[in-house]
Amino acid sequence: MYVLTVKDGLVTRYVGPYQSPKHASDDLDKVLASCSKRARWQIHALEAPQCVFLSERLHSSSNRFVTATAS
């Protein structure tokens, strides 16, 4: 999956998702018609998120750090 990102001044627009970069580029002219001439654009590939439970993240992070206690 892909998403089209358009930055126009302080505004960032995300358009998509698309099945391929070709589909995103096909819509690019329509999206840029509503933007200024200085707008910047990129096509990004979306990544699948990792399926990790919160309890697993807390357990793994507690093993990495040592906490200090005040005396």
Task: Render pLDDT for 7-37 as a digit per residue (tens, 0 to 9).
Answer: 998 999 998 888 888 988 888 889 889 889 8
Q: Is residue 24 part of a domain?
A: yes
Q: Which residue range(s) make up the domain with 22?
A: 2-64
Three-class DSSP category at 41: strand
Q: What is the pTM of this model?
A: 0.59
Looking at residue 20, what DSSP letter applies?
S
Tell me the pLDDT band of 6, cut-offs 50, 70 and 90: very high
Residue 68 has pLDDT above 60, yes or no: no
In the chain, the number of structural domains is 1
Distance CA(15)–CA(2), nearest Å, equals 9
Q: Is residue 45 part of a domain?
A: yes
Residue 65 has pLDDT above 90, yes or no: no
Give 53's Cβ-side CA count (13 Å radius). Answer: 3
